[in-house]
């Protein structure tokens, strides 16, 4: 019986050593946090109307609406559309993005609220 207890104790010590060794080696890398980008609707225009961002990353667009009426953030290439209440904001997650040009606009005022995202 002593051998059985000794065997279990050794197994428990070895299991603990393996766990500690894994912790000492570091945790697996977490996915990179999305880069935050602020886009604002004001006076039925979109600010900024031109953005350049790196390829291969995820992005968190914080879309603010400073107008007195609701606006809809839309991008056909990004496959996103979401209403932004007057005086409010929304979050739009995208990516990772491939190199290219992605348009975005305010769907309620598409003639003036236009922007372009260049991903390089």
Answer whether residue 87 is part of any domain: yes
Expressed as residue numbers, the domain containing 47 is 35-119
Measured between alpha carbons, how far is residue 115 from residues 25, 38, 96, 108 in Å?
45, 13, 19, 14
Position 23 in a domain: no
Asked if residue 96 has a cis previous peptide bond (ω within 30° of 0), the answer is yes
In a domain, 102, yes or no: yes
Domain count, the chain: 1
Answer yes or no: is 115 within a domain: yes
2 falls within a domain: no
Q: pLDDT tens track of the chain, all 120 residues?
A: 556 555 565 555 545 544 544 444 544 445 678 999 999 999 999 999 999 999 999 999 999 999 999 999 999 999 999 999 999 999 999 999 999 999 999 999 999 999 999 999
- The answer as to whether 99 is a domain residue is yes
Query: Which CATH number belongs to the domain containing residue 75 in this structure?
Result: 2.60.40.420
The H or E element spanning position 37 is strand 35-42
């Amino acid at each position: 019986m002593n051998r059985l207890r000794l065997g279990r104790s050794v197994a428990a010590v070895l299991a603990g050593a393996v766990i500690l060794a894994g912790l000492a080696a570091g945790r697996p890398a977490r996915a990179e946090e999305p880069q935050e980008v602020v886009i604002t609707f004001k006076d039925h225009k979109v600010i900024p109307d031109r953005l350049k961002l790196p390829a291969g990353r995820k992005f968190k667009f914080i879309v603010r609406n400073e107008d007195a009426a609701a606006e809809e953030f839309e991008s056909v290439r990004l496959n996103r559309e979401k209403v932004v209440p007057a005086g409010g904001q929304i979050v739009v997650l995208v990516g990772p993005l491939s190199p290219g040009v992605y348009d975005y606009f305010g769907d309620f005022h598409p003639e003036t609220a236009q922007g372009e995202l260049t991903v390089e």
